[in-house]
Amino acid sequence: MHDFAMPDTAQPSGAMHPLVTRLIDEMGYPLLANMSDVAEFTARPGAHCLFIPGDAKRNLETPDAAVVLPEIRMAFQHAFDCAVVGDAIETELRQQTRALKAPGFLFYREGEYLGAIEKIRDWDDYVARTSHILTAKG
């Protein structure tokens, strides 16, 4: 379940927003730097959410998404673990999943892509979409 848009082809600034860095440094979310990292992380047992932050210099929703993700995880009683997708593979992963808008949350279960939530949403929309994605059968 995601919106369709043309991929963002502009070059990223390379600067990670402090709220995204906080997810890695303080909350322990791994930073996935290559597609092997993605495959390894998402293949683990259980459900997983990959946060594609987008370029915070061009996308003003990135900091909001970095705050929302831990709240969603808490609302779902830690039913999934989280990781941050690195700049170098962000475009490739967005194209692979067809979740082309950033910021985005990509959900997987044991290696299988389940769906995405793109851009900032109302809280009720996050809850409904996350519930739908996590209960979907692959």
- pLDDT tier at 26, thresholds 50, 70, 90: very high
Nearest-5° Cα angle at 16, 25 to 112: 75
pLDDT at residue 5 greater than cutoff 70: no
Domains defined for the chain, CATH in brackets: 23-135 (3.40.30.10)
Q: Strands (DSSP E) along the chain, which ranges? A: 31-32, 47-52, 80-85, 104-109, 112-118
pLDDT at position 6 is 46
pTM value is: 0.88
